[in-house]
Structure 1
Amino acid sequence: MGQKAVAMVNNNSDFELVGVFNPIIDSLDPNDYGLDSKVKVFNNFSQINIEADIWIDFSIPSAVFDNTKFAISKGIRPVIGTSGLSEDQTSELKSLADDKKLGGIIASNFGISAVLMMKFAQTAAKYFDQAEIVETHHEDKLDAPSGTALNTARLIHEVQQQDEQKNPNESDPLGTRGGDYHGIKIHAIRLSGFIADEEVIFGSDGESLTVKQSTTDRASFMKGVQLAVKEVMNRNELVIGLEKII
Protein backbone atom coordinates (compact mmCIF):
# COMPACT_ATOMS: atom_id res chain seq x y z
CA MET A 1 0.00 0.00 0.00
CA GLY A 2 2.89 2.36 0.71
CA GLN A 3 4.27 1.74 -2.75
CA LYS A 4 0.83 2.35 -4.29
CA ALA A 5 0.58 5.63 -2.39
CA VAL A 6 4.01 6.76 -3.60
CA ALA A 7 3.04 5.94 -7.18
CA MET A 8 -0.26 7.83 -6.81
CA VAL A 9 1.53 10.95 -5.55
CA ASN A 10 4.18 10.77 -8.28
CA ASN A 11 1.53 10.35 -10.99
CA ASN A 12 -0.53 13.33 -9.84
CA SER A 13 0.56 16.70 -11.19
CA ASP A 14 -1.06 18.45 -8.21
CA PHE A 15 1.07 16.55 -5.67
CA GLU A 16 4.77 16.45 -4.86
CA LEU A 17 6.48 13.71 -2.84
CA VAL A 18 8.88 15.40 -0.40
CA GLY A 19 9.66 12.60 2.06
CA VAL A 20 9.10 9.01 3.13
CA PHE A 21 9.33 7.43 6.58
CA ASN A 22 10.05 3.84 7.57
CA PRO A 23 11.57 3.07 11.01
CA ILE A 24 12.91 -0.38 10.03
CA ILE A 25 15.14 0.67 7.12
CA ASP A 26 18.87 1.39 7.36
CA SER A 27 19.69 3.28 4.17
CA LEU A 28 18.53 6.88 3.83
CA ASP A 29 19.49 7.06 0.16
CA PRO A 30 16.36 7.65 -1.96
CA ASN A 31 18.03 5.95 -4.93
CA ASP A 32 17.96 2.65 -3.01
CA TYR A 33 14.16 2.76 -3.17
CA GLY A 34 13.72 4.04 -6.71
CA LEU A 35 12.81 7.53 -5.51
CA ASP A 36 13.78 10.90 -6.94
CA SER A 37 17.01 12.19 -5.41
CA LYS A 38 15.12 15.22 -4.02
CA VAL A 39 12.95 13.01 -1.80
CA LYS A 40 14.13 12.81 1.82
CA VAL A 41 14.17 9.38 3.47
CA PHE A 42 13.76 9.08 7.25
CA ASN A 43 13.84 6.21 9.76
CA ASN A 44 13.43 8.29 12.94
CA PHE A 45 10.94 10.97 13.92
CA SER A 46 13.74 13.22 15.19
CA GLN A 47 15.19 13.45 11.67
CA ILE A 48 12.04 14.82 10.04
CA ASN A 49 12.71 18.49 9.40
CA ILE A 50 10.84 19.24 6.18
CA GLU A 51 7.74 21.23 5.32
CA ALA A 52 4.85 19.00 4.26
CA ASP A 53 1.09 19.41 3.90
CA ILE A 54 -0.02 15.77 4.10
CA TRP A 55 1.06 12.64 5.97
CA ILE A 56 -0.24 9.52 4.19
CA ASP A 57 -0.06 6.47 6.43
CA PHE A 58 -0.44 2.83 5.38
CA SER A 59 1.76 1.26 8.04
CA ILE A 60 0.85 -1.27 10.75
CA PRO A 61 -1.57 -1.20 13.71
CA SER A 62 1.20 -0.99 16.32
CA ALA A 63 2.71 2.14 14.73
CA VAL A 64 -0.21 4.14 13.35
CA PHE A 65 -1.18 5.93 16.58
CA ASP A 66 2.31 7.32 17.23
CA ASN A 67 2.73 8.17 13.54
CA THR A 68 -0.51 10.13 13.42
CA LYS A 69 0.16 11.88 16.72
CA PHE A 70 3.57 12.97 15.42
CA ALA A 71 2.10 14.30 12.17
CA ILE A 72 -0.52 16.33 14.03
CA SER A 73 2.12 17.73 16.40
CA LYS A 74 4.03 19.03 13.36
CA GLY A 75 0.95 20.53 11.73
CA ILE A 76 0.94 17.94 8.94
CA ARG A 77 -2.55 16.88 7.87
CA PRO A 78 -2.96 13.11 8.41
CA VAL A 79 -4.58 10.85 5.81
CA ILE A 80 -4.66 7.52 7.62
CA GLY A 81 -5.55 4.22 5.96
CA THR A 82 -4.01 1.95 8.59
CA SER A 83 -6.61 0.07 10.65
CA GLY A 84 -6.18 -1.08 14.23
CA LEU A 85 -6.75 2.18 16.12
CA SER A 86 -8.95 1.84 19.19
CA GLU A 87 -11.93 4.13 19.70
CA ASP A 88 -10.06 5.88 22.53
CA GLN A 89 -7.02 6.46 20.31
CA THR A 90 -9.18 7.78 17.49
CA SER A 91 -10.94 10.14 19.88
CA GLU A 92 -7.61 11.42 21.22
CA LEU A 93 -6.25 12.05 17.73
CA LYS A 94 -9.43 13.85 16.69
CA SER A 95 -9.23 16.06 19.76
CA LEU A 96 -5.58 16.92 19.06
CA ALA A 97 -6.25 17.77 15.41
CA ASP A 98 -9.46 19.67 16.08
CA ASP A 99 -7.76 21.78 18.76
CA LYS A 100 -5.22 22.86 16.13
CA LYS A 101 -7.97 23.26 13.49
CA LEU A 102 -6.01 20.80 11.38
CA GLY A 103 -7.78 18.93 8.59
CA GLY A 104 -7.31 15.20 8.30
CA ILE A 105 -9.04 11.87 7.88
CA ILE A 106 -8.89 8.42 9.40
CA ALA A 107 -10.61 5.91 7.11
CA SER A 108 -11.08 2.20 7.62
CA ASN A 109 -11.18 1.82 3.85
CA PHE A 110 -10.32 4.11 0.93
CA GLY A 111 -12.01 1.91 -1.66
CA ILE A 112 -14.96 3.73 -3.19
CA SER A 113 -16.96 0.50 -3.49
CA ALA A 114 -16.33 -0.34 0.17
CA VAL A 115 -17.38 3.12 1.33
CA LEU A 116 -20.55 2.98 -0.75
CA MET A 117 -21.27 -0.48 0.67
CA MET A 118 -21.04 0.95 4.19
CA LYS A 119 -23.40 3.79 3.27
CA PHE A 120 -25.86 1.35 1.67
CA ALA A 121 -25.66 -0.89 4.75
CA GLN A 122 -26.43 2.02 7.04
CA THR A 123 -29.47 2.90 4.93
CA ALA A 124 -30.68 -0.71 5.01
CA ALA A 125 -30.24 -0.87 8.79
CA LYS A 126 -33.23 1.45 9.16
CA TYR A 127 -35.48 -1.33 7.89
CA PHE A 128 -33.90 -4.48 9.39
CA ASP A 129 -33.40 -5.46 13.02
CA GLN A 130 -30.74 -8.12 12.41
CA ALA A 131 -27.44 -8.06 10.53
CA GLU A 132 -24.24 -10.08 10.32
CA ILE A 133 -20.97 -9.12 8.65
CA VAL A 134 -18.50 -11.41 6.86
CA GLU A 135 -15.13 -9.97 5.87
CA THR A 136 -12.40 -11.81 3.96
CA HIS A 137 -8.83 -10.54 3.67
CA HIS A 138 -5.41 -11.78 2.61
CA GLU A 139 -3.61 -14.07 5.02
CA ASP A 140 -1.04 -11.41 6.03
CA LYS A 141 -3.56 -8.92 7.44
CA LEU A 142 -2.59 -8.38 11.07
CA ASP A 143 -5.83 -7.15 12.66
CA ALA A 144 -9.23 -8.77 12.95
CA PRO A 145 -11.92 -7.80 12.50
CA SER A 146 -10.98 -5.42 9.72
CA GLY A 147 -11.47 -1.71 10.29
CA THR A 148 -14.04 -1.73 7.50
CA ALA A 149 -16.11 -4.44 9.17
CA LEU A 150 -15.94 -2.74 12.55
CA ASN A 151 -16.89 0.62 11.06
CA THR A 152 -19.77 -0.99 9.19
CA ALA A 153 -21.04 -2.42 12.48
CA ARG A 154 -20.74 1.02 14.10
CA LEU A 155 -22.74 2.64 11.30
CA ILE A 156 -25.46 0.00 11.58
CA HIS A 157 -25.61 0.40 15.36
CA GLU A 158 -25.86 4.20 15.03
CA VAL A 159 -29.09 3.69 13.10
CA GLN A 160 -30.56 0.89 15.20
CA GLN A 161 -29.74 2.64 18.51
CA GLN A 162 -30.03 -0.63 20.41
CA ASP A 163 -28.22 -3.91 20.71
CA GLU A 164 -29.41 -6.68 18.41
CA GLN A 165 -31.18 -9.44 20.29
CA LYS A 166 -29.47 -12.79 20.79
CA ASN A 167 -31.08 -16.21 20.91
CA PRO A 168 -30.94 -16.96 24.66
CA ASN A 169 -30.82 -20.70 23.95
CA GLU A 170 -27.93 -20.53 21.49
CA SER A 171 -24.86 -22.66 22.25
CA ASP A 172 -21.48 -21.97 20.64
CA PRO A 173 -18.64 -23.74 22.50
CA LEU A 174 -16.19 -23.26 19.61
CA GLY A 175 -16.90 -19.57 19.06
CA THR A 176 -18.10 -20.17 15.53
CA ARG A 177 -20.71 -17.41 15.70
CA GLY A 178 -18.01 -14.76 15.33
CA GLY A 179 -17.19 -11.59 17.19
CA ASP A 180 -19.88 -9.41 18.69
CA TYR A 181 -20.41 -5.64 18.33
CA HIS A 182 -23.62 -4.66 20.13
CA GLY A 183 -25.16 -7.94 19.01
CA ILE A 184 -23.97 -7.62 15.40
CA LYS A 185 -21.90 -10.69 14.59
CA ILE A 186 -18.66 -10.17 12.65
CA HIS A 187 -16.89 -13.09 10.97
CA ALA A 188 -13.26 -12.59 9.87
CA ILE A 189 -11.71 -14.89 7.24
CA ARG A 190 -7.98 -14.81 6.38
CA LEU A 191 -6.98 -16.71 3.22
CA SER A 192 -4.49 -16.39 0.40
CA GLY A 193 -6.06 -15.49 -2.93
CA PHE A 194 -8.03 -12.57 -1.49
CA ILE A 195 -7.30 -8.89 -1.02
CA ALA A 196 -10.41 -7.47 0.66
CA ASP A 197 -14.04 -8.59 0.45
CA GLU A 198 -16.95 -7.78 2.71
CA GLU A 199 -20.62 -8.56 2.80
CA VAL A 200 -23.36 -7.44 5.13
CA ILE A 201 -26.34 -9.77 5.44
CA PHE A 202 -29.63 -8.42 6.77
CA GLY A 203 -32.51 -10.63 7.81
CA SER A 204 -36.14 -10.05 8.65
CA ASP A 205 -39.36 -12.06 8.61
CA GLY A 206 -39.79 -13.47 5.12
CA GLU A 207 -36.88 -11.62 3.47
CA SER A 208 -33.15 -10.99 3.47
CA LEU A 209 -30.76 -8.54 1.87
CA THR A 210 -27.04 -8.90 1.11
CA VAL A 211 -24.77 -5.95 0.32
CA LYS A 212 -21.34 -7.03 -0.91
CA GLN A 213 -18.17 -5.55 -2.38
CA SER A 214 -14.88 -7.04 -3.57
CA THR A 215 -11.44 -5.50 -4.01
CA THR A 216 -9.22 -7.25 -6.56
CA ASP A 217 -6.42 -4.68 -6.87
CA ARG A 218 -4.98 -2.44 -4.16
CA ALA A 219 -4.59 0.33 -6.73
CA SER A 220 -8.34 0.92 -6.38
CA PHE A 221 -7.78 2.37 -2.91
CA MET A 222 -5.79 5.23 -4.38
CA LYS A 223 -8.93 6.87 -5.83
CA GLY A 224 -10.15 7.42 -2.30
CA VAL A 225 -6.73 8.52 -1.04
CA GLN A 226 -6.43 11.09 -3.81
CA LEU A 227 -9.91 12.39 -3.00
CA ALA A 228 -9.04 12.58 0.71
CA VAL A 229 -5.73 14.38 0.17
CA LYS A 230 -7.47 17.17 -1.72
CA GLU A 231 -10.41 17.33 0.68
CA VAL A 232 -8.44 17.65 3.95
CA MET A 233 -6.70 20.75 2.62
CA ASN A 234 -10.09 22.46 2.89
CA ARG A 235 -11.01 21.10 6.31
CA ASN A 236 -10.19 22.30 9.83
CA GLU A 237 -11.03 19.08 11.67
CA LEU A 238 -10.17 15.39 11.66
CA VAL A 239 -12.86 13.40 9.83
CA ILE A 240 -13.50 9.77 10.77
CA GLY A 241 -14.54 7.74 7.73
CA LEU A 242 -14.36 8.41 4.02
CA GLU A 243 -18.13 8.09 3.90
CA LYS A 244 -18.27 11.53 5.59
CA ILE A 245 -16.84 13.24 2.48
CA ILE A 246 -18.40 11.14 -0.31
Structure 2
Amino acid sequence: MSDQKILVVVNGALGKMGRAIVKAVAAADDMTLVGAIDRNLTLIGQDIGEVIGIEPLEIPVMNDLEATLVAAQSEGTAVMVDVTHPDSVYSSVRAALAYGVRPVVGTTGMSAKQIKDLADFADKASTGCLLIPNFSIGMVLLQQAALQAAAYFDHVEIIELHHNQKADAPSGTAVKTAQMLAEVNKNFNPPQVEESEKMTGARGSQTDEGVRIHSVRLPGLVAHQEVIFGAAGQVYTLRHDTSDRVCYMPGVLLSIRRVLSLKSLIYGLDKIL
Protein backbone atom coordinates (compact mmCIF):
# COMPACT_ATOMS: atom_id res chain seq x y z
CA MET A 1 0.00 0.00 0.00
CA SER A 2 0.99 3.59 -0.52
CA ASP A 3 1.46 6.17 2.19
CA GLN A 4 -1.95 7.66 1.39
CA LYS A 5 -4.29 7.56 4.37
CA ILE A 6 -7.40 5.41 4.34
CA LEU A 7 -10.54 7.52 3.99
CA VAL A 8 -13.24 6.40 6.43
CA VAL A 9 -16.97 7.10 6.57
CA VAL A 10 -18.75 6.08 9.78
CA ASN A 11 -22.44 5.29 9.27
CA GLY A 12 -24.22 5.46 12.61
CA ALA A 13 -21.66 7.90 13.99
CA LEU A 14 -23.74 9.15 16.91
CA GLY A 15 -24.52 5.75 18.43
CA LYS A 16 -22.40 4.40 21.27
CA MET A 17 -20.40 2.17 18.95
CA GLY A 18 -20.20 4.86 16.27
CA ARG A 19 -18.78 7.43 18.67
CA ALA A 20 -16.09 5.00 19.78
CA ILE A 21 -15.18 4.27 16.15
CA VAL A 22 -14.96 7.96 15.28
CA LYS A 23 -12.52 8.45 18.17
CA ALA A 24 -10.44 5.42 17.13
CA VAL A 25 -10.27 6.48 13.47
CA ALA A 26 -9.37 10.06 14.41
CA ALA A 27 -6.49 8.74 16.53
CA ALA A 28 -5.18 6.30 13.89
CA ASP A 29 -2.10 7.57 12.03
CA ASP A 30 -3.04 5.86 8.77
CA MET A 31 -6.71 6.94 8.58
CA THR A 32 -8.68 10.09 7.94
CA LEU A 33 -12.35 10.51 8.83
CA VAL A 34 -14.17 11.96 5.81
CA GLY A 35 -17.80 11.34 6.72
CA ALA A 36 -20.06 10.98 9.76
CA ILE A 37 -23.60 9.82 8.96
CA ASP A 38 -26.49 9.55 11.40
CA ARG A 39 -30.28 9.69 11.43
CA ASN A 40 -30.37 12.03 14.45
CA LEU A 41 -31.59 15.19 12.72
CA THR A 42 -31.07 17.41 15.78
CA LEU A 43 -27.29 17.34 15.33
CA ILE A 44 -27.05 17.61 11.55
CA GLY A 45 -24.35 20.06 10.50
CA GLN A 46 -22.52 20.05 13.82
CA ASP A 47 -18.85 19.01 13.98
CA ILE A 48 -18.71 15.32 14.89
CA GLY A 49 -15.58 15.83 16.98
CA GLU A 50 -17.21 18.47 19.14
CA VAL A 51 -20.41 16.43 19.43
CA ILE A 52 -18.59 13.39 20.85
CA GLY A 53 -16.32 15.42 23.12
CA ILE A 54 -12.97 15.46 21.33
CA GLU A 55 -11.20 18.13 19.30
CA PRO A 56 -13.00 19.54 16.23
CA LEU A 57 -12.54 17.27 13.20
CA GLU A 58 -14.05 19.63 10.61
CA ILE A 59 -16.46 16.86 9.60
CA PRO A 60 -20.15 17.77 9.96
CA VAL A 61 -22.75 15.20 10.94
CA MET A 62 -24.76 14.42 7.80
CA ASN A 63 -27.77 12.26 6.94
CA ASP A 64 -27.17 11.86 3.20
CA LEU A 65 -25.23 8.60 2.95
CA GLU A 66 -25.05 8.36 -0.85
CA ALA A 67 -23.72 11.89 -1.30
CA THR A 68 -21.10 11.22 1.36
CA LEU A 69 -20.05 7.96 -0.31
CA VAL A 70 -19.67 9.68 -3.69
CA ALA A 71 -17.59 12.47 -2.17
CA ALA A 72 -15.41 10.01 -0.23
CA GLN A 73 -14.70 7.81 -3.26
CA SER A 74 -13.83 10.85 -5.38
CA GLU A 75 -11.02 11.64 -2.93
CA GLY A 76 -9.40 8.19 -3.02
CA THR A 77 -9.74 4.70 -1.55
CA ALA A 78 -12.56 4.79 0.97
CA VAL A 79 -14.08 2.48 3.58
CA MET A 80 -17.52 2.71 5.18
CA VAL A 81 -17.93 1.35 8.70
CA ASP A 82 -21.61 0.59 9.32
CA VAL A 83 -22.94 0.36 12.88
CA THR A 84 -26.55 1.33 12.28
CA HIS A 85 -29.73 -0.77 12.47
CA PRO A 86 -30.91 -4.07 10.95
CA ASP A 87 -33.64 -2.21 9.04
CA SER A 88 -31.19 -0.08 7.06
CA VAL A 89 -27.90 -1.95 6.95
CA TYR A 90 -28.60 -3.95 3.76
CA SER A 91 -29.39 -0.88 1.66
CA SER A 92 -26.43 1.02 3.13
CA VAL A 93 -23.95 -1.75 2.33
CA ARG A 94 -25.34 -2.22 -1.16
CA ALA A 95 -25.02 1.51 -1.79
CA ALA A 96 -21.41 1.49 -0.60
CA LEU A 97 -20.53 -1.39 -2.91
CA ALA A 98 -22.27 0.35 -5.82
CA TYR A 99 -20.12 3.45 -5.32
CA GLY A 100 -16.90 1.48 -4.89
CA VAL A 101 -16.60 2.14 -1.16
CA ARG A 102 -15.52 -0.91 0.83
CA PRO A 103 -17.95 -1.75 3.67
CA VAL A 104 -16.92 -2.96 7.12
CA VAL A 105 -20.18 -3.97 8.76
CA GLY A 106 -20.70 -4.36 12.49
CA THR A 107 -24.50 -4.21 12.27
CA THR A 108 -26.15 -7.62 12.60
CA GLY A 109 -29.65 -8.83 11.80
CA MET A 110 -29.47 -9.31 8.03
CA SER A 111 -31.15 -12.39 6.60
CA ALA A 112 -29.21 -15.18 4.93
CA LYS A 113 -30.69 -14.07 1.59
CA GLN A 114 -29.52 -10.49 2.10
CA ILE A 115 -26.01 -11.65 2.95
CA LYS A 116 -25.99 -13.89 -0.13
CA ASP A 117 -27.15 -10.98 -2.32
CA LEU A 118 -24.39 -8.75 -0.94
CA ALA A 119 -21.80 -11.49 -1.47
CA ASP A 120 -22.86 -11.85 -5.11
CA PHE A 121 -22.78 -8.08 -5.60
CA ALA A 122 -19.32 -7.80 -4.00
CA ASP A 123 -18.03 -10.59 -6.26
CA LYS A 124 -19.36 -8.89 -9.38
CA ALA A 125 -17.90 -5.57 -8.31
CA SER A 126 -14.60 -7.18 -7.18
CA THR A 127 -14.93 -5.04 -4.06
CA GLY A 128 -14.02 -6.15 -0.58
CA CYS A 129 -16.70 -6.30 2.11
CA LEU A 130 -16.36 -7.49 5.70
CA LEU A 131 -19.31 -8.60 7.84
CA ILE A 132 -18.08 -8.75 11.43
CA PRO A 133 -20.68 -9.83 14.01
CA ASN A 134 -18.21 -9.13 16.81
CA PHE A 135 -14.98 -7.12 16.59
CA SER A 136 -13.54 -8.50 19.86
CA ILE A 137 -10.41 -10.65 19.68
CA GLY A 138 -11.56 -12.35 22.89
CA MET A 139 -14.76 -13.51 21.22
CA VAL A 140 -12.80 -15.01 18.36
CA LEU A 141 -10.78 -17.00 20.89
CA LEU A 142 -13.98 -18.15 22.63
CA GLN A 143 -15.44 -19.33 19.34
CA GLN A 144 -12.28 -21.25 18.48
CA ALA A 145 -12.34 -22.95 21.90
CA ALA A 146 -16.03 -23.79 21.42
CA LEU A 147 -15.30 -25.34 18.04
CA GLN A 148 -12.66 -27.58 19.59
CA ALA A 149 -14.97 -28.59 22.45
CA ALA A 150 -17.82 -29.39 20.06
CA ALA A 151 -15.90 -32.42 18.81
CA TYR A 152 -16.12 -33.97 22.27
CA PHE A 153 -19.50 -32.81 23.64
CA ASP A 154 -22.91 -33.70 22.23
CA HIS A 155 -24.88 -31.23 24.35
CA VAL A 156 -24.45 -27.46 24.08
CA GLU A 157 -26.49 -24.30 24.56
CA ILE A 158 -25.63 -20.64 23.95
CA ILE A 159 -26.75 -17.75 26.14
CA GLU A 160 -26.16 -14.25 24.79
CA LEU A 161 -26.82 -11.15 26.89
CA HIS A 162 -26.98 -7.57 25.57
CA HIS A 163 -28.21 -4.10 26.48
CA ASN A 164 -31.91 -3.53 25.94
CA GLN A 165 -31.38 -1.17 23.00
CA LYS A 166 -30.17 -4.00 20.75
CA ALA A 167 -32.74 -4.46 18.00
CA ASP A 168 -32.09 -8.03 16.83
CA ALA A 169 -32.18 -11.39 18.60
CA PRO A 170 -30.39 -13.68 18.72
CA SER A 171 -27.23 -11.67 18.32
CA GLY A 172 -25.11 -12.03 15.20
CA THR A 173 -22.29 -13.29 17.42
CA ALA A 174 -24.44 -16.10 18.79
CA VAL A 175 -25.59 -17.03 15.28
CA LYS A 176 -21.98 -17.05 14.06
CA THR A 177 -20.96 -19.23 17.04
CA ALA A 178 -23.72 -21.72 16.25
CA GLN A 179 -22.67 -21.78 12.60
CA MET A 180 -19.11 -22.60 13.65
CA LEU A 181 -20.35 -25.43 15.89
CA ALA A 182 -22.18 -26.84 12.87
CA GLU A 183 -18.81 -27.35 11.19
CA VAL A 184 -18.26 -30.53 13.23
CA ASN A 185 -21.09 -32.09 11.19
CA LYS A 186 -23.22 -33.60 13.91
CA ASN A 187 -26.53 -33.01 15.62
CA PHE A 188 -26.38 -31.62 19.16
CA ASN A 189 -28.65 -32.12 22.14
CA PRO A 190 -30.15 -35.52 21.30
CA PRO A 191 -33.49 -35.62 23.15
CA GLN A 192 -33.63 -37.43 26.47
CA VAL A 193 -37.36 -36.90 27.09
CA GLU A 194 -40.32 -35.59 25.12
CA GLU A 195 -40.18 -31.88 25.97
CA SER A 196 -43.13 -29.51 26.10
CA GLU A 197 -42.88 -25.74 26.58
CA LYS A 198 -45.35 -24.39 29.14
CA MET A 199 -44.53 -20.92 27.79
CA THR A 200 -43.59 -20.41 24.13
CA GLY A 201 -39.86 -19.76 23.74
CA ALA A 202 -38.88 -21.13 27.14
CA ARG A 203 -36.26 -23.37 25.52
CA GLY A 204 -34.98 -20.61 23.26
CA SER A 205 -34.42 -20.82 19.52
CA GLN A 206 -32.88 -23.88 17.88
CA THR A 207 -30.62 -24.32 14.86
CA ASP A 208 -30.99 -27.14 12.36
CA GLU A 209 -28.14 -28.90 14.19
CA GLY A 210 -29.98 -28.72 17.52
CA VAL A 211 -28.01 -25.90 19.16
CA ARG A 212 -30.20 -23.87 21.53
CA ILE A 213 -29.73 -20.08 21.70
CA HIS A 214 -31.19 -17.94 24.49
CA SER A 215 -31.27 -14.12 24.35
CA VAL A 216 -31.30 -11.77 27.35
CA ARG A 217 -31.90 -8.01 27.03
CA LEU A 218 -31.38 -5.79 30.10
CA PRO A 219 -30.15 -2.29 30.89
CA GLY A 220 -26.70 -2.39 32.45
CA LEU A 221 -25.42 -5.06 30.08
CA VAL A 222 -23.08 -4.33 27.18
CA ALA A 223 -22.37 -7.60 25.31
CA HIS A 224 -21.83 -11.02 26.85
CA GLN A 225 -21.95 -14.63 25.68
CA GLU A 226 -21.77 -18.05 27.28
CA VAL A 227 -21.35 -21.36 25.48
CA ILE A 228 -22.20 -24.17 27.88
CA PHE A 229 -21.30 -27.78 27.09
CA GLY A 230 -22.64 -30.65 29.18
CA ALA A 231 -21.79 -34.33 29.55
CA ALA A 232 -22.16 -36.98 32.22
CA GLY A 233 -20.63 -35.63 35.42
CA GLN A 234 -19.28 -32.37 33.95
CA VAL A 235 -20.14 -28.95 32.57
CA TYR A 236 -17.71 -26.91 30.48
CA THR A 237 -18.52 -23.19 30.27
CA LEU A 238 -16.92 -20.61 28.01
CA ARG A 239 -17.82 -16.97 28.68
CA HIS A 240 -16.84 -13.62 27.23
CA ASP A 241 -17.80 -10.31 28.86
CA THR A 242 -17.56 -6.84 27.37
CA SER A 243 -17.41 -3.95 29.83
CA ASP A 244 -16.38 -1.17 27.43
CA ARG A 245 -16.69 -0.79 23.65
CA VAL A 246 -13.03 0.17 23.50
CA CYS A 247 -12.33 -3.59 23.33
CA TYR A 248 -13.76 -3.63 19.80
CA MET A 249 -11.53 -0.91 18.40
CA PRO A 250 -8.42 -3.01 17.54
CA GLY A 251 -10.71 -5.30 15.53
CA VAL A 252 -12.42 -2.35 13.85
CA LEU A 253 -9.14 -0.76 12.78
CA LEU A 254 -7.75 -4.11 11.62
CA SER A 255 -10.89 -4.67 9.52
CA ILE A 256 -10.62 -1.22 7.91
CA ARG A 257 -7.06 -1.98 6.88
CA ARG A 258 -7.69 -5.54 5.69
CA VAL A 259 -10.82 -4.84 3.62
CA LEU A 260 -8.70 -2.82 1.18
CA SER A 261 -7.00 -5.96 -0.15
CA LEU A 262 -10.17 -8.04 -0.50
CA LYS A 263 -12.17 -8.66 -3.68
CA SER A 264 -15.20 -10.37 -2.13
CA LEU A 265 -17.36 -10.56 0.98
CA ILE A 266 -15.83 -12.18 4.07
CA TYR A 267 -17.89 -13.09 7.14
CA GLY A 268 -16.24 -13.07 10.57
CA LEU A 269 -13.21 -11.51 12.20
CA ASP A 270 -11.56 -14.93 12.48
CA LYS A 271 -11.20 -15.03 8.69
CA ILE A 272 -8.80 -12.04 8.61
CA LEU A 273 -6.70 -12.60 11.73
Indicate the TM-score class for this superposition, using the shorter chain for normalisation: over 0.9
- Structure 2: 5+ residue runs without aligned partners? 1-16, 51-55
Q: 2:31 is matched with which residue?
A: 15
| Greater RCO (CA < 8 Å, at least 6 residues apart) | 1
Please say if 1:159 is aligned against 2:159. Answer: no
Please say if 1:51 is aligned against 2:67. Answer: no
2:47 and 2:60 in contact (8 A); partners too: no
Partner Cα separation in structure 2 for residue 63 and residue 24 of structure 1 = 14
Partner Cα separation in structure 2 for residue 23 and residue 140 of structure 1 = 16
Q: 1:123 is matched with which residue?
A: 148
Q: Paired residue for 1:205, among 225, 229, 232?
A: 232
Q: Paired residue for 2:248, among 221, 224, 246?
A: 221
Partner Cα separation in structure 2 for residue 44 and residue 26 of structure 1 = 14
TM-score between the two structures when normalised by the length of structure 1: 0.93
SS at match of 1:17: strand
2:223 and 2:241 in contact (8 A); partners too: yes
Partner Cα separation in structure 1 for residue 191 and residue 212 of structure 2 = 10
Q: 1:36 is matched with which residue?
A: 57
Q: Aligned ranges for residues 55-94 of structure 1 at < 5 Å? A: 55-94=80-119
The alpha carbon displacement at 1:83 in A equals 0.9
Letter in structure 2 aligned against 1:194:
L
Partner Cα separation in structure 1 for residue 29 and residue 223 of structure 2 = 29
Q: 1:240 is matched with which residue?
A: 267
The alpha carbon displacement at 1:179 in A equals 1.1
How much identity, in percent, do the aligned residues show?
Answer: 36
Which string of whole-angstrom CA distances, capped at 9 and with x for unpartnered residues, describes residues 124-153 of structure 1? 112222210011111211111111111111
Partner Cα separation in structure 1 for residue 116 and residue 246 of structure 2 = 29
The alpha carbon displacement at 1:157 in A equals 1.2
Q: 1:88–1:164: structure 2 CA closer, same or farther, 3 Å change rule?
A: farther
Q: 1:156–1:202: structure 2 CA closer, same or farther, 3 Å change rule?
A: same
The alpha carbon displacement at 1:201 in A equals 0.7
2:129 and 2:266 in contact (8 A); partners too: yes
- Structure 1: 5+ residue runs without aligned partners? none
2:159 and 2:215 in contact (8 A); partners too: yes
Q: 1:231 is matched with which residue?
A: 258
The alpha carbon displacement at 1:33 in A equals 5.8
SS at match of 1:233: helix
Which string of whole-angstrom CA distances, capped at 9 and with x for unpartnered residues, describes residues 45-65 of structure 1? 443331341000111111111
Q: 1:176 is matched with which residue?
A: 202
Partner Cα separation in structure 2 for residue 118 and residue 193 of structure 1 = 24
2:48 and 2:57 in contact (8 A); partners too: no
Q: 1:71–1:51: structure 2 CA closer, same or farther, 3 Å change rule?
A: same
1:57 and 1:81 in contact (8 A); partners too: yes
The alpha carbon displacement at 1:158 in A equals 2.0
TM-score between the two structures when normalised by the length of structure 2: 0.84
2:228 and 2:235 in contact (8 A); partners too: yes
Q: 1:132–1:46: structure 2 CA closer, same or farther, 3 Å change rule?
A: closer
Which string of whole-angstrom CA distances, capped at 9 and with x for unpartnered residues, describes residues 16-46 of structure 1? 0011122342654243762522x25431244
Q: 2:160 is matched with which residue?
A: 135
- Residue correspondences, number: 245
SS at match of 2:41: coil
